[in-house]
Amino acid sequence: MNKQINDISEIFCVSNSDVTALLMKLRWNSQLLSERLCQENNKLSTESDFVTDSNQDLFDSDSSCDGKVSTPFCSHEFSINYWSKYLEKNKKKYTISCPLQGCPAEVEWDAIENLTVRKKNRYDEYVLRSYLEKSTRQIKQCPAQGCSYFIEFPSRINAEEYGLNVVCLCGHTFCWRCSLESHNPVTCNNASGWLSRDLKKLSVSMDDTSCLDRWEACEASMEKARSELQAFEESNNTTLREGLMLIVQCRQFLKWSCVYEYIHLEHEDSKKDFLRFLQDYASTLVQSFSETLKEERAKALSETTLEEVTCSKGNLYDVTISIGNYFYNFAKALQDGLDVVEVRHYDDFSPCWLCDRCTYANTWLHKVCQMCYEFPVEKPSGSFLNKVSS
C-alpha cells in the first residue's frame, strides 16, 4: 500500500496525502488514477471534492496552537476532542468527510497530523481498512483468534491449487478460500458440512465409528503439537520452530484425511484399507520426526560450536525434505482418488454397488454388504450368486 502511494506521489509530484485520498476515492485503482492524473490533474481534484481553501495553509499553525484542526480543503475547524469523538464514531466507514454537514471535503492524512499520535494511528487504521476492503481477494487477516497478521496472496498464483494450505507467521494454517483451518484433502463444502455436524449424533448413526475415532485421535495429536509450537514461540531457533510447524500441518492433514475416508470411501473397502495403511505409516513418520526434534532441541541447548549447530541443521533439513515428500505424494494420491488401487467394476450393476469382499450386489440404500452382514465368513469359497434388486 505504501509503495503504491509513494510511486504515484513521486511520478506526478502530488503529496502522499492527496494520493491516499484519491486512491481511496478510486478504490485503489493505481492505473486509473495514473491515467487521470496524466490528463487533468486539477479537474480530478475538483471532481474528488479536493478544492483547497486559498486562505488556509496545509498545516495551519494558528489552528494547531488554538487546539483546533480542519481539513486542508475547507476552513471548518473543530477541536481535537471533537475530532476524536467524530473519528471514533465513523471509524468503520471507508470514507470520512468534514464533520460539518453538507461539506464534501474529505479528511486527509495531513489534517490528522495535527492530532495526537494515538488519533493519527486511528486514521492510519481507517486508510488500511479502505485498502483491505478493496483487496479482499489478495489480502486477508489471519483467522486465528488473537492474531493481528495480514497475509497477501499473490494474484499470479492459482488459489484453487495452492490456497488450501496458507501458513501464517503465528503458525496457523488455513484455507484461503473459506478461511477455515486447512482441510486438505477435502473440499471447502465438505469441510464446512463436516464441522457443522453434531459428531455425537453422527457416531450413533454410523455403522462403523472407526473413522470418527481416528478423527478425534488425530485432533488430539494436532492440538498437542500446536501447544508445543506455542511454547517454543519465543525461541530464536527458526529451524526447530519450522519443524514444529510442519508437525502441526502433518497432524492436520491426517485429521482431515479421516473425513476424506468417510465421504469418498464408504463402500470401497480396498481403497479404505490402503488409505489407512498410508495414514498409519504417515503417523509413524510424524512421531519419529517429533522425537528427532526433541533430541535436536536438547542438543541445541548444549552445543557451543558453529560446526555442531550446522550439523544439526543439516540433519533436520534432510528429515524435513523426506517427510515433506511423503505427504506431498500422499495428498496427490488422494487427489487422484487412490486410483493405484484396482477396484472391480461391472457396468451391468449400475443400480447397485458391489462388495469388494464377496462381490454381492447391494442396493444404494444399504451401507453395508447384506451378504457379509447376514452370513459372515472368514474365507469365502466357491461361486456366489449375485443378486440384483429390481
Q: Judge whether residue 56 has pLDDT over 50.
A: no
Q: Judge whether residue 364 has pLDDT over 70.
A: no
pLDDT tens per residue across span 57-79 = 333 334 444 566 666 567 777 78
Q: Report the distance separating Cα 69 and Cα 79, nearest Å.
A: 6
Q: Report the distance separating Cα 263 and Cα 190, nearest Å.
A: 8
Lowest mean pLDDT of 238-242, 275-279, 313-317, name the range. 313-317
Please give the angle made by the CA atoms of 84, 88 and 91, to the nearest 5 degrees: 130
CA distance readout (Å), 367 to 263, 269, 338: 12, 12, 21
Q: What Rg, from alpha-carbon coordinates, does the chain have?
A: 31
Cell of 380: 469365502
Q: Judge whether residue 55 has pLDDT over 60.
A: no
- pLDDT, position 252: 93
Would you say 195 and 183 are in contact if contact means Cβ atoms under 8 Å apart? no
Q: For the full predicted model, state whether its pTM sits above 0.85.
A: no
Q: Judge whether residue 26 has pLDDT over 80.
A: no
- pLDDT, position 79: 80
What string of DSSP letters covers 336-357? Answer: TTSTTS-----GGGTTEEE-TT
Residues 6+ apart with CB under 8 A from 373: none
Strands (E), 52-96: 68-69, 78-79
Task: Say which residue, 373 or 375, is predicted with more confidence.
Answer: 373
Q: Quickly state the pLDDT bin for 375 (edges 50, 70, 90).
A: low
- pLDDT, position 97: 76
Give the residue from 206, 331, 210 showing the smallest Cα distance to 278: 331
Would you say 150 and 139 are in contact if contact means Cβ atoms under 8 Å apart? yes
pLDDT tens per residue across span 112-152 = 555 544 555 666 666 666 676 666 567 888 888 888 888 88
Would you say 323 and 285 are in contact if contact means Cβ atoms under 8 Å apart? yes
- Percentage of the chain surpassing pLDDT 90? 9
Q: Judge whether residue 266 has pLDDT over 60.
A: yes
Q: Quickly state the pLDDT bin for 32 (edges 50, 70, 90).
A: confident
Q: Judge whether residue 250 has pLDDT over 90.
A: yes
pLDDT tens per residue across span 303-362 = 555 555 555 666 777 788 888 889 998 998 898 888 877 654 444 434 567 777 777 777
Would you say 356 and 346 are in contact if contact means Cβ atoms under 8 Å apart? no
Q: Report the distance separating Cα 246 and Cα 171, nearest Å.
A: 9
pLDDT tens per residue across span 16-25 = 766 776 776 6
Domain parsing of the chain, residue ranges: 2-134, 203-335, 344-390
- pLDDT, position 134: 65
Would you say 354 and 268 are in contact if contact means Cβ atoms under 8 Å apart? no
Would you say 180 and 171 are in contact if contact means Cβ atoms under 8 Å apart? no
Q: Quickly state the pLDDT bin for 383 (edges 50, 70, 90).
A: very low
Please give the angle made by the CA atoms of 159, 94 and 143, to the nearest 5 degrees: 40
Would you say 203 and 212 are in contact if contact means Cβ atoms under 8 Å apart? yes
What is the enclosing helix (H) or strand (E) of 151? strand 150-152
